[in-house]
Amino acid sequence: MGVEGIGARVARKEDKRFLTGKGRYTDDMSVPGMKYAIFVRSPYAHAKIRSIDATAAKAMPGVVGVLDGKQLLADGIGNLICGWMIHSKDGSPMKMGAWRPLAHETVRYVGDAVAIVVADSIAEAKDAAEAVVVDYQELPVVTDATKALEQGQPQLHPEAPNNLIFDWQIGDPAATDKAIAAAAHVTEITIHNNRLSPNPMEPRATLGIYDGGDEHYTCYTTSQNPHVARLVMSAFYNVAPENKLRVIAPDVGGGFGSKIYIYPEEIVCLWASKRTGVPVKWTSDRTEAFLTDAHGRDHLSKVKMAFDANNRIIGLKVDTVANLGAYMSLFSSAVPTYLYATLLSGQYDIPAIHANVRTVYTNTAPVDAYRGAGRPEATYLLERTMETAARELGVSPAELRRINFIRSFPHQTPVIMNYDAGDYDASLDAAMQASDWNGFAARKAEAARRGMKRGIGMSCYIEACGIAPSAAVGSLGAGVGLWESAEVRVNAVGTIEVLTGSHSHGQGHETTFAQLVADRFGVPIDSVNIVHGDTDKVQMGMGTYGSRSGAVGMSAVVKALDKVEAKAKKIAAHLMEADESDIVIENGELKVAGTDKTVPWFQMALAAYTAHNLPPGMEPGLKEGAFYDPANFTFPAGCYICEVEVDPETGVTKIIQFVAADDFGNIINPMIVEGQVHGGLAQGIGQALLENVHYDPENGQLLTASYMDYAMPRADDLPSFKVSTSNTPCPNNPLGIKGCGEAGAIGSPPALINAITDAIGNNRLTMPATPQKVWAAAHAAN
Amino acid sequence: MAKITMTVNGRQVSGQCDDRTLLVHFIRENLGLTGTHVGCDTSQCGACVVHMDGRSMKSCSTLAAQAAGSDITTIEGLAANGELHPVQAAFKANHGLQCGFCTPGMVMTAVDMIRRHSGHLDEATVRAELEGNICRCTGYHNIVKSILAAAAEMGGARVAAE
């Protein structure tokens, strides 16, 4: 490992611009003639639109135009779609209702956009938006998914009777029922996974620019995957042909899944720019973000876990209802199916699993992937069930897990996944040691003397990253391939540009991707630039989500580096009249092994471009591209332990310590990996203790639409974390890396809830474990 | 319309804006200093923190007109002569930022926090004082570490100077 190579704790190249106010986010962009957009949004959760009258609004000062859904329809702009086809167990395709970018007939959740106002200033646009008169006929509302499935409830889409989108299953129902019937013990539990708002600190924004001269569109947007945005807006939404649409996602202030999707606003601002003849910028305010950014989670599951007399799991049955909100967002169908139920084997050897999942329309914001996406739901369900079972069986939680750990790889689960590598004992041992698990009894006794209830809980998670290979996800219903592409461009002076289809919005790619190059060629990372986020610069890409940038994006870079290295060696061998198999690259030089002959890296690069003395037949230049399609998912895993103290007088939970022991395979930059874990833990702890999206069930109003009502974790809600890693390299990609972006959010909620229920001696507790709920549970008879 | 003159990052600036214009929008739109961010509508997130007359404040909670005549420092004005301020340097050294959006507000808050406590900070105090700044990326772990490191360095420098 060099000082800047793979495994080095390198400070980030991108930090200086963020620290000095030079970051360039979408809302920072301005172009000549630019105007500002405000969306008129439905104040009702369900209503028919009788009419829209913009006469008064159009006459307001500064107003450039007011456009509505009928005009959008007339111009042929298409419906928003869900890109992953799921079939119900009866073979029927999922029932996708129409999602118009601007509703013109029916609104289905509070915040549904109905018109766009474009004006000289935001203030004037806001004033005019208030003057747009929309005549609504209110309809009855349903926000709860289980209730929405009942007879006689409000119907959201004619395509989906009883609001049922699909009724899907995975695994073997007969074998699972048989195992449960034959079990020595069955643990039964109902698990609620609360609805969350992703809340990247940068609100969504977009700037749509139509150039009438070239009939060309440019879209600045807060996207995790600008190429996917371009593809979808071209192929499905009819905004512009792909060659006439440039999508730029500049600096993006966090995503956590919520910026994967193509939302109505990007589409409408591009269209409005053509309609009004001016560039149109829209920036979400925080309340709009709560109302319209895709939410996460919102599952209700009934679980039965069957054990034999030796405490081995012999069967797992899960029945889940997942709330997908008012419309099917881009990947919404994949989250509660192939990103969720395929992980229900956890770290355990379970011979029979059956999961049934019903997804449901309700009058709430669309629900899609949020950090972890399905895997947190699976882990919370499994790890709370394991903890409950351990208590019922009178076995220690660590022992019950060890009895059931998978120890032989590859391991085929009954729910599609084939785990390639792992060592679950290693992370459990590391976490127990770091938390001084064995000393807990003494700490509990000490706390009790102070009148406090101390508890400890663990969670052993597994996740699947990289979401691939393309052929496999295609066979499961994905509408796109999930490869990644890269291009490595060596300039004539030897500096290097890496163009990647991955997108960094906090992950530090400008540093870690450069570390790959430094490691390979021994050049300083300052001579390497990472280019991303612009469809006119980067050839193709699938973007960043599902912890795929390392396992998939970097693997594409490695493939391109292989090609560059091979050509560089040929050139160097020719220059030094040596055999190319004797050339080694070290410290920025190409050497003939065993001799003192060297060619500096820059000189080889210059030779590639002067082309005065290249091997016969070789093309000039040194620039190579590659696409990489993984052979399998990757399987990060780990063990988290949380210790809490609950004040029985107030119900307030204090986290005493939080330990994370992860196996991410090989690591490019440990400092950045630790940062990813910290952030994930905070989001998971936020889910478990603080956060909840709450709709009024009577009228569908969002009651948690600001930071005054939605409890975002603050610094004093959290402890400093103890993190460590162990390493079983991933055998299926060239770097042996697994991905680390989501683990913290996946593994932490059950560890925390298991700790609280341990402290209060009552297992009936739902997230978020607010002081009120914890107090009530602590004082209820168990 | 209000005509406003103030000092921003050591330079006198004037501009005309609607009476209802917030200071943060004046800084971003009129002055083109886009390092100061807007992350919420309710004065909770702290992405807009600047210094007014040497004290940190949320520029989303002040009208531009109220800031007339004052001395404002934004994130763009913190690094002197191209050298990162010790707080900026500590955030870089300790990986105290990820997406960078909350970072300007965090740094401006931290500089004032260290000043008010004369560099004598502990973890609990830092966490309590960050109540008005929200970060979604870092879990605050490395932000707290960065501020403590900067406080130690600046406090150490101050002691050495004394």
Domain ranges of chain B: 2-77, 86-161
CB contact under 8 A, A675 and B95: yes
Q: Which string of b and e fits A260-290 if b means at least 16 CB within 10 Å?
A: bbbbbbbbbbbbbbbbbebbbbbbbbbbbbb
CB contact under 8 A, A123 and B20: yes
Half-sphere exposure (CA, 13 Å, Cβ side) for A72?
Answer: 30
Paired with A305 in beta bridges are: A187, A316
Statement to judge: residues A376 and A359 lie in one domain:
yes
Statement to judge: residues A94 and A126 lie in one domain:
yes
Looking at residue A451, its pLDDT comes to 97
CB contact under 8 A, A715 and B91: no
Statement to judge: residues A521 and A609 lie in one domain:
yes
Residue A412 lies in a domain: no
Statement to judge: residues A669 and A778 lie in one domain:
yes
- Nearest-CA residue of chain A relative to B101? A253
Backbone angles phi, psi at A411, to 5 degrees: -125, 125
**CB nearest B75 (choices: A20, A203, A680):** A20
Which of A12, A19, A36 is the best mutation test for B, with the most CBs of B within 10 A? A19
Q: Is the ipTM of this complex over 0.95?
A: yes
Statement to judge: residues A557 and A496 lie in one domain:
yes
Q: Which residues of chain B have pLDDT under 50?
A: none
CB contact under 8 A, B97 and A15: yes
pLDDT in tens, A555-591: 999 999 999 999 999 999 999 999 999 999 999 999 9
Looking at residue A659, its pLDDT comes to 98
Backbone angles phi, psi at A174, to 5 degrees: -65, -45
Neighbours of A300 (CB within 10 A): 16
Q: Kindly list the residues from chain A whose CB atom is less than 8 angstroms away from the CB atom of residue B139.
A: 678-683, 713, 718, 721, 744
User: Cα–Cα–Cα angle for A616, A617, A620, nearest 5°?
Assistant: 100
Residue A476 lies in a domain: no
Statement to judge: residues A619 and A653 lie in one domain:
no
Looking at residue B157, its pLDDT comes to 57
**CB nearest B84 (choices: A19, A252, A680):** A19
Which of B137, B138, B145 is the best mutation test for A, with the most CBs of A within 10 A? B137
Q: Which residues of chain A have pLDDT under 50?
A: none
CB contact under 8 A, B139 and A679: yes
Neighbours of A334 (CB within 10 A): 26
Give the closest-approach CA distance of A200 to chain B in angstroms. 6
CB contact under 8 A, A18 and B103: yes
pLDDT in tens, B42-83: 999 999 999 999 999 999 999 999 999 999 999 999 998 889
CA dihedral A285, A289, A290, A295 (to 10 degrees): -170
Residue A26 lies in a domain: no
Q: Kindly list the residues from chain B whose CB atom is less than 8 angstroms away from the CB atom of residue A16.
A: 84, 92
Statement to judge: residues A645 and A600 lie in one domain:
no
The domain containing residue A149 runs over which residues? 141-194+295-407
Statement to judge: residues A641 and A605 lie in one domain:
no
CA dihedral A612, A514, A738, A170 (to 10 degrees): -80
CB contact under 8 A, B95 and A287: no
Half-sphere exposure (CA, 13 Å, Cβ side) for A659?
Answer: 23
Looking at residue B155, its pLDDT comes to 82
Residue A474 lies in a domain: no
Statement to judge: residues A582 and A503 lie in one domain:
yes
Statement to judge: residues A583 and A689 lie in one domain:
no
**CB nearest A715 (choices: B93, B98, B144):** B144
Looking at residue A155, its pLDDT comes to 98
Residue A659 lies in a domain: yes
Domain count, chain A: 4
Residue A771 lies in a domain: yes
In this structure, what DSSP letter does residue A619 have? P
Average of per-residue pLDDT values in chain B: 95
Statement to judge: residues A540 and A571 lie in one domain:
yes
In this structure, what DSSP letter does residue A550 have? I
Largest CA distance in chain B: 50
Statement to judge: residues A609 and A656 lie in one domain:
no
Class of domain B2-77 as given by CATH: alpha beta
Which of A16, A17, A18, A251 is the best mutation test for B, with the most CBs of B within 10 A? A18
Query: Would B2-77 and B86-161 be classified into the same CATH topology?
Result: no
Residue A537 lies in a domain: yes
- Nearest-CA residue of chain A relative to B47? A201
CB contact under 8 A, B44 and A680: no
Looking at residue A467, its pLDDT comes to 83
Q: Kindly list the residues from chain A whose CB atom is less than 8 angstroms away from the CB atom of residue B21.
A: 123
pLDDT in tens, A403-446: 999 999 999 999 999 999 999 999 999 999 999 999 999 999 99
Q: Which residue has the tokens 């709860």?
A: A144
Class of domain B86-161 as given by CATH: mainly alpha
**CB nearest B34 (choices: A28, A256, A680):** A28
Beta strands in A198-336 (DSSP E): 205-211, 216-221, 245-248, 280-283, 299-307, 313-325
Helix orientation angle between A397-404 and A375-393, rounded to the nearest 10 degrees: 110
Whether pTM > 0.90 for this model: the answer is: yes
Task: Please check whether residue B81 touches A, CB under 8 A.
Answer: no
Interface size A-B, in CB pairs within 8 Å, comes to 185
Task: Please check whether residue B73 touches A, CB under 8 A.
Answer: no
CATH number where A589 lies: 3.30.365.10
Residue A470 lies in a domain: no
CA dihedral A555, A560, A562, A566 (to 10 degrees): 180
A730 Cβ contact list (under 8 Å, min separation 6): A420, A421, A551, A634, A635, A665, A666, A736, A737, A738
CATH number where A120 lies: 3.90.1170.50
**CB nearest B142 (choices: A121, A505, A675):** A675
User: Cα–Cα–Cα angle for A56, A57, A61, nearest 5°?
Assistant: 105
Looking at residue B160, its pLDDT comes to 52
Q: Which string of b and e fits A585-618 if b means at least 16 CB within 10 Å?
A: beebbbbbeeeebbbebbbbbbbbeeeeebeeee
Compute the distance between CA of residue A478 and CA of residue A543 in angstroms, rounded to an integer.
15
Largest CA distance in chain A: 87
A244 Cβ contact list (under 8 Å, min separation 6): A214, A215, A216, A217
Q: Which amino acid is at A169?
A: Q
Q: Kindly list the residues from chain A whose CB atom is less than 8 angstroms away from the CB atom of residue B42.
A: 286, 706-708
Two tokens, residue A142: 């349903």
Q: Kindly list the residues from chain A whose CB atom is less than 8 angstroms away from the CB atom of residue B131.
A: 714-716
Q: Using the Cα atoms of residue A725, residue A731, residue A736 and residue A740 in order, give the sign of their dihedral.
A: negative
Task: Please check whether residue B107 touches A, CB under 8 A.
Answer: yes
CB contact under 8 A, B74 and A21: yes
